[in-house]
Amino acid sequence: MQAPRPAKARGHAPPDFDSLVLDRGFLYTPDGALPVKKIGKGMFADVYREETGRRRVFVFADDDVYDKEILCMAHNDLPHNPHIPATEKFGSTRDKQVYVMQFYNAPLRKGNTKPADWGAYLDVKGCVDRSSRGHPGYTRNQEISECIKGQFVRESLVEAFESLVYWAANYDESYAIEFSPRNLASDSAGNLVLLDILYNQEAVHRKRAQPRRATRALSRTERARMAGR
């Protein structure tokens, strides 16, 4: 039996990087079509990996969510810090912002992480677990940062947290830290990477409320239909 042929790109190159098109397993760019495969989905973003060439990761994020842009700013501040994912703005589609980064080993696993960095993960996790969860995002983030300093975590990791917390506050004080293996990763050298530790509390609440509002609206419509019988 003959093996199936790989899919071929069928679209045309867009005029610029603000007109990117994702269609049928290809990301169409002004430089050509990149074969990509979906590897993850979050509340506000979809994640694809390039299947050939540099094997980069592309994140398609909602227009009104800025956690990946915060990563870009932190990476620009500290381009050689191994704990901040090397994230850059790639372009945009009609309704998404597109970011690119290298591929990391995620979620975080002890076997893929240097012993010192796994120990740092446990120290930071202790600070996060002891923080005041009822406080607004910015206040709690500052509390966590101060705790990390007191744990004598290495300077590069402290700097990474401080940069992320600073830029998060510049965008929205609702951004809070979520520190669990699914939000973390390691690089090829075993360094702890703060892959996706920020989320907007208010945006999450709004998103979770949408199905409830839709259900209530449906119920009202159904009641009106029943009353009209």
Taking only the tens place, the pLDDT of each residue in 110-141 is: 999 999 999 999 999 999 999 987 777 889 99
> What's the pTM?
0.85
In this predicted structure, the answer to whether residue 104 has a pLDDT above a threshold of 80 is yes
pLDDT at 211: 63
Q: Beta strands of 9-139 (E only): which ranges?
A: 21-23, 26-29, 32-41, 45-50, 57-62, 87-92, 96-101
Cis geometry, peptide bond prior to residue 107 (ω within 30 degrees of 0): yes
pLDDT at 209: 82
Full set of structural domains in the chain with CATH: 21-101 (3.30.200), 110-207 (no CATH)
State mean pLDDT over 80-109.
97
CB 84 within 8 A of CB 70: no
State mean pLDDT over 140-161.
92
In this predicted structure, the answer to whether residue 40 has a pLDDT above a threshold of 60 is yes
In this predicted structure, the answer to whether residue 4 has a pLDDT above a threshold of 90 is no
Round to whole Å and give the CA distance between 50 and 18.
19
Nearest to 27 by CA among 2, 4, 54: 54
pLDDT band with cut points at 50, 70 and 90 for residue 220: low
DSSP 137-162: HHHHHHHHHHHHHHTT--HHHHHHHH
